[in-house]
Copies of this chain bind each other. A is one copy, B any other.
Amino acid sequence: MAECLFREQGYDATTVDHIAERAGISQRTFFRYAGTKEDLVLSDFERQGERMVDVLRSRPATENPWTSLRHAFEVVVASRGEQSDRDRAKLMYSIIESSPALRAAYLDRMDLIQRGLVDVLLDRPTGTDNRVVTRALVGAAFAALNAVIETCDPDSNGPDTFAADLDHVLAQLEPTSTRI
């Protein structure tokens, strides 16, 4: 819906009034449902984040955290299965990148997701209760994920290059002391 407008005239140039009019509702109703103009773009990521937390919680507590995080990232990999999904993701990221405020909000959501994952890892009976290192570990894994998302060649992308790239970068980045 609104994505079409964003794609056509850009995120910043599209006013909420315009979106509401196109949707056939009042501006007031728009804000009641969407919460925020940013949420139109970012709510998808938020939902992905929640699923990542769920997946992480479902992993065995004795599993290597790095491996568990890789499984959580499967949520993102899965969201890029079809070509149409990949096109949509590409569009979303180009919209996000087009507006500084939106990109900032996106990074904030990512940060919140990371905090959620950290809490899950700290809840494990095994493993350290070292918040700092766990926070850093999750941040590092996300750095790998975001690097792949960000730098992933947009076009001519084979079906599952994404998963392979992610695995490659995660392997390169795996901490020396993988068992923290």
Contact = CB atoms under 8 A, between A and B. Distances in A.
A156 interface: no
A173 interface: yes
Q: How many copies does the complex hold?
A: 2
Contacts of A175: 172-176
Nearest to A180: B172
Interface residues on A, range: 35 or more
B108 A169 contact: no
Interface of A: 100-101, 103-105, 107-108, 111, 131-133, 135-140, 142-144, 146-148, 150-151, 165, 168-169, 171-178, 180
Contacts of A172: 133, 136-137, 175-177, 180
